[in-house]
């Protein structure tokens, strides 16, 4: 079973700052990784898939990189609406199995 | 536009069953898998299972196998998830989402409370 580990658990940052969130897989997963943003009381929102491809309508300030076991999501200049919890997710095509990281909470400093 | 609309909140007693629906619109239902994810209060996301509306193939996380049944009604573009033998720790928000790898559209969530 593949385990996804995100770091840090919580990040306190100021609007306008650049921030990087990390996700590590317990074994190589190529680029089968997605990132989601979840605000309180809402469903998750897909940000990035294939490790680095922004989903439709996602602003360019969000960028994903990585392959194998190490991945990151960078937000180039934090906006007020970006304060949320971020999850990485590994997906396996067959059998279809999906594993989420435990999340990183981005909070206002 | 693409929409996934889930059924309303449920309150169940331990040992009962519950079924949540996910009505889709705005796209070809059979072309995308439907996955179910739950989130306990204050906790992270947990994948439960996936179904292909195209052929009915399903796959569930090991911890839910035998307790969860996924089905679809392709004529109405609705996906269903039934969970049996409910326990208090099944209290969570249950989401449906569209996709075969990453999930690009999500339902609004259905709150299930299991309490005696």
Average pLDDT, chain A: 96
- Mean pLDDT for A26-55 is 97
Is residue A5 pLDDT above 90, yes or no? yes
pLDDT digits (tens, 9 = 90+) for B53-98: 999 999 999 999 999 999 999 999 999 999 999 999 999 999 999 9
How high is the pLDDT of residue A47?
98
How high is the pLDDT of residue A99?
96
How high is the pLDDT of residue B113?
98
Q: Which band of pLDDT confidence, cut at 50, 70 and 90, is reported for residue A37?
A: very high
pLDDT digits (tens, 9 = 90+) for B32-50: 999 999 999 999 999 999 9
Is residue A50 pLDDT above 90, yes or no? yes
How high is the pLDDT of residue A94?
83
DSSP letter, residue A80 = G
Closest chain A residue to B38, measured at CA? A43
- Mean pLDDT for B88-110 is 97
How high is the pLDDT of residue B88?
98
Strands B10-12, B110-114: pairing kind: parallel
- Distance (Å) of CA A85 to CA A12, A40, B5, B33, B91: 12, 8, 23, 25, 21
**Residue of B27, B60, B103 to mutate for A, most A C-beta atoms under 10 A:** B103
Please provide the DSSP assignment of A34-61 as one string.
Answer: EEEEE-TTS--EEEEETTTEEPTT--TT
Contact across the interface for B47 and A97, Cβ inside 8 Å: yes
Please choose, from the candidates A106, A105, A73, the residue with its C-alpha nearest in 3D space to the C-alpha of residue A89.
A73
Contact across the interface for A95 and B33, Cβ inside 8 Å: no
How high is the pLDDT of residue B60?
95
Nearest 5°: the CA angle A10, A16, A65 is: 65
Tokens of B115: 């309490």
Contact across the interface for A87 and B44, Cβ inside 8 Å: yes
Which residues in chain B are contacts of A91 at CB distance < 8 A? 101-102
Q: Name every residue whose Cβ is closer than 8 Å to that of residue A107 and which is 6 or more positions away in sequence.
A: A10, A11, A12, A13, A83
CA Rg, chain B, in Å? 13
């Amino acid at each position: 079973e593949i385990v996804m580990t995100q770091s840090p658990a919580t990040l306190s940052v100021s609007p306008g700052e650049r921030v990087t969130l990390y996700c590590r897989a317990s074994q190589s997963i190529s680029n089968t990784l997605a990132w989601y943003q979840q605000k309180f009381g809402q469903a998750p929102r897909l940000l990035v898939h294939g490790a680095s491809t922004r989903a439709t309508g996602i602003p360019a300030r969000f960028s994903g990189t990585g392959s194998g076991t190490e991945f990151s999501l960078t937000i180039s200049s934090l906006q007020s609406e970006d304060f949320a919890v971020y999850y990485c997710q590994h997906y396996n095509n067959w059998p279809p199995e999906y594993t989420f990281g435990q999340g990183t909470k981005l909070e206002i400093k | 536009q693409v929409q996934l609309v889930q059924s309303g909140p449920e309150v169940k007693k331990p040992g009962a069953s519950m079924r949540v629906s996910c009505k889709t619109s705005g796209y070809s239902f059979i072309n995308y898998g439907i996955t179910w994810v739950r989130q306990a209060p204050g906790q992270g996301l947990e994948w439960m299972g996936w179904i292909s509306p195209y052929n009915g193939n399903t796959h569930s996380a090991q911890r839910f196998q035998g307790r969860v049944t996924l089905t679809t009604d392709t004529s109405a573009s609705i996906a269903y998830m039934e969970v049996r033998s409910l326990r208090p720790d099944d209290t969570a928000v249950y989401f449906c989402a569209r996709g075969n790898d990453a999930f690009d559209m999500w339902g609004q969530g259905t709150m299930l409370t299991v309490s005696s």
